[in-house]
């Protein structure tokens, strides 16, 4: 619809005496004059991308959620007395187990102070679900990808590859398992057993905390976990989400939680705060190496680009709450 057509549509619906407000005046308008609730606001915190360890300044950049960054945003909103409720807008296939747990802890702490609503966009899988599961209410689209409660860890074994291209490597170590995560050799049987125990310990922590958030036992969560993914509609039936709906529904629920009607206009405090180009340059967030890396990534298909782009941010052998790329691909194709 073009501007002239839109103006004609408004005049037909509301009459020729329709009064309009320039967006600049609207942005600087007095809240009571705009019928907006002046007594509080809702924090809208975006968690979009792969979850990695990292600081506050890089949160939200390059399709990454940093543990320290999103945790700081949640903490800030929880401590802000003018914020009456928090809405987490999640679109993530997961990532670092440690970073996910850091964010989860802040959600638990925030929930003790004010309502926290999780709104699932396309994907809340594995770590993406982990950071959502402690919310008071989880809202998802019927076709959202939800769940993938599972964990994996491992390493790339490149020793044979180096041999083929004529590169000789040598490992110097002190201690039987000092070379546990070296890429020059495969895991020994003993190391595989150690890694398996580490993975199961991390998985059991996942299902235990999911049970706490969902009001279920770890055993009940285990029966619907083990890496399986569900649509939002299926997740509703098994208790992984509470309500089917879109972002507007999540905001409406947040309003009801703080005693307002669904029709009340409430200002949104958005996190992470967007940084301008000059601010990013001053903070050193744009480097030549990053630009070259971005150019390389842009040559890949979008689903693969999102997964590969996070690889440099994972530590060797780090446990990952990360859904397979294929599921991310399905969500991108479907929506």
Q: Which tokens hold the place of 288?
A: 């030549």
- The verdict on whether 58 is a catalytic residue reads no
Q: Which of 126, 132, 148, 331 is catalytic?
A: 126
Q: Mind giving me the DSSP string for 248-299?
A: HHHHHHHHHHTT--TT-B--EEEESPP--HHHHHHTT---HHHHHHHHHHTT
Answer whether 158's CB lies under 8 Å from 185's CB: no
d(CA 203, CA 271): 30
**3-state secondary structure at position 6:** helix
The pairing of beta strand 320-322 with beta strand 268-271: unpaired
d(CA 64, CA 129): 16
Answer whether 119's CB lies under 8 Å from 139's CB: yes
d(CA 54, CA 35): 40
d(CA 231, CA 240): 10
Q: Mind giving me the DSSP string for 171-235?
A: ---SSTTTTTT-TTSPPPHHHHHHHHHHHHHHHHHHHHHHHHHHT--HHHHHHT-TT-EEEHHHH
d(CA 84, CA 115): 8
- Residue 230: count of CB within 10 angstroms of its CB: 22
Q: 82 to each of 39, 51, 242, how far by Cα in Å?
A: 7, 28, 27
Catalytic residues: 126
């Amino acid at each position: 619809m073009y501007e002239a057509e839109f103006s004609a549509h408004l005049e037909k619906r509301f009459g020729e005496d329709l009064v309009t407000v320039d967006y600049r005046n609207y942005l600087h308008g007095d809240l009571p004059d705009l019928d907006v609730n002046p007594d509080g606001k809702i924090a809208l915190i975006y968690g979009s991308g792969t979850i990695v360890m990292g600081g506050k300044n890089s949160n939200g950049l390059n399709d990454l959620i940093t543990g320290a960054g999103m945790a700081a945003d949640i903490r800030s909103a929880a401590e802000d007395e003018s914020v009456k409720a928090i809405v987490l807008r999640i679109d993530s296939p997961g990532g670092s187990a440690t970073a996910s747990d850091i964010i989860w802890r802040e959600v638990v702490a925030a929930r003790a102070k004010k309502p926290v609503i999780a709104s699932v966009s396309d994907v809340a899988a594995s770590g993406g679900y982990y950071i959502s599961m402690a919310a008071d209410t989880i809202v998802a689209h019927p076709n959202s990808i939800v769940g993938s409660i599972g964990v994996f860890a491992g390493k790339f074994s490149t020793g044979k590859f180096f041999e083929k291209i004529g590169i000789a490597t040598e490992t110097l170590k002190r201690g039987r398992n000092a070379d546990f995560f070296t890429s020059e050799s495969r895991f020994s049987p003993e190391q595989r057993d150690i890694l398996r125990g580490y993975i199961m310990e991390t998985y059991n922590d996942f299902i235990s905390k999911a049970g706490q958030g969902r009001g279920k036992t770890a055993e009940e969560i285990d029966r619907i976990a083990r890496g399986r993914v569900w649509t939002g509609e299926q997740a509703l039936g098994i208790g992984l989400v509470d309500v089917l709906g879109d972002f507007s529904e999540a905001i409406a629920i947040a309003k009801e939680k703080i005693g307002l009607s669904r029709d009340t206009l409430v200002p949104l405090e958005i996190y992470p705060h967007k940084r301008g180009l000059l601010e990013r340059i001053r903070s050193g967030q744009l480097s030549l190496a990053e630009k070259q890396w971005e150019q390389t990534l842009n040559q890949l298909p979008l689903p693969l680009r999102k997964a590969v782009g996070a690889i440099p941010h994972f530590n060797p052998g780090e446990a990952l709450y990360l859904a397979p790329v294929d599921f991310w691909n399905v969500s991108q194709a479907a929506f």
